[in-house]
Amino acid sequence: MTALHPTTDLRLSAAMREGSRAEHQAAEDSTFMAELLAGRVNQQGYADYLLRLRGVYATLEETVRAHRADPAVAAVHDTALERVDALDDDLDHWAPGGPRAVDSPAADAYRQRLVAAAAEWPALLVAHHYTRYLGDLSGGQAIGRVLDRTFDLGGTGIAFYDFAQIAKPKIYKDGYRARLDELGTTAGEQARIVDEVRMAFRLNQEVFAELGERLEAYAR
Ligand code: HEM
């Protein structure tokens, strides 16, 4: 990313996707996700998931905003993606009047890593940004539709999956990947960012694992 380092022909976006393929599959296969998509998680279970996401996105969006002058962070930062307000709207639906904070070691560890990654090298935030928002704009769209059907929501309570300012997710994702690729990262920088993508997937996995331990209480 600096003129002092040689650039590489590798595309950062491709390295991030290829480098996290196994982790993505593991996330898809997590018991909590599978049960949720099969319609076997109740309102409390989904609310508990949203509460964890709320904490994670609050920290993600705060750290990204704080580092938006960094060229790598600037390449992806976009207020149209921000999810905290949507999560609050959804929590009003799934847990009306309930708390907005949650006791969650997995969410806390995720938030702590976001802060530490930003302090270590702000470009590492790109890995976290990619893992959540490109996921939300991809498989997340299907998850929203399944929830809508399963709980017969009529489009309510799923604001999290609705990016009102992004009309065409596919085109948006193409532009996002192009901006990553234009950063001119070196092979060494790419390796660090890909490692952080894997870390981000693992942190998500830990959130699913935590929820998975409570599936009996969430049975629907
Ligand atoms: C059952 C759960 C999931 C399903 C069915 C799913 C499905 C998909 C699909 C079909 C794509 C490809 C979309 C495309 O080609 O544009 C995708 C991309 C992606 N997903 Fe997932 N996903 C799931 C869970 C997750 C989770 C938990 C995360 C991370 C927290 C995640 C992160 C991503 C990312 C970052 C991409 C973009 C890959 C890229 O193009 O570089 N996904 N997902």
Average pLDDT score, the chain? 95
Which residue's CA is the nearest one to ligand 1's atom 12? Answer: 138
Q: What whole-number percentage of the chain has pLDDT above 90? A: 92
Per-residue pLDDT tens over the stretch 143-159 = 999 999 999 999 999 99
Query: Pocket residues for ligand 1 (CB within 6 Å)?
Result: 16-17, 24, 27-28, 33, 37, 130-132, 134-135, 138-139, 142, 173, 201, 204
List the domain range (segments joined by +) for residue 143: 12-218
Whether 4 is in a domain gets the answer no
Helices 43-66 and 105-120, packing angle to 10 deg: 10
* Average pLDDT of the segment spanning 182-208: 97
Is residue 6, in this structure, part of any structural domain at all?
A: no
The Å distance, Cα 124 to ligand 1 centre, comes to 19
- Is residue 101 domain-resident? yes
Q: Would the pLDDT of 104 be above 90?
A: yes
Flag whether 183 is in a domain.
yes
> pLDDT band at 8, cuts 50/70/90?
low
- Does the structure show a pLDDT above 90 at 217? yes
202 Cα–ligand 1 center, Å: 14
Pocket test for ligand 1, best of 16, 17, 20, 24 (most atoms within 8 A of CB): 24
Are the CB atoms for 95 and 51 separated by under 8 Å? yes
* pTM listed for this prediction: 0.94
pLDDT of residue 9: 61
Ligand 1 atom at shortest distance from the alpha carbon of 29: 1
**CA–CA dist 134, 76 (Å, integer):** 11
Nearest CA to ligand 1 atom 27: 27
Residue 218 pLDDT: 97
Q: What CATH number does the domain containing 34 carry?
A: 1.20.910.10
- Is there a domain that residue 5 lies in? no
Helix (H, G, I), strand (E, B) or coil at 68: coil
Residue 31 reports pLDDT greater than 80: yes
Looking at residue 10, its pLDDT comes to: 79
Q: What CA–CA distance (Å, rounded) separates 25 from 113? A: 22
**What pLDDT, on a 0 to 100 scale, did the predictor assign at position 4?**
45
Quick one: pLDDT at residue 75? Answer: 98
Has residue 153 been placed in a domain?
yes
**Domains in the chain, number:** 1
Q: Is residue 46 part of a domain?
A: yes
Q: Is residue 2 part of a domain?
A: no
Tokens 């990262």, residue located: 185
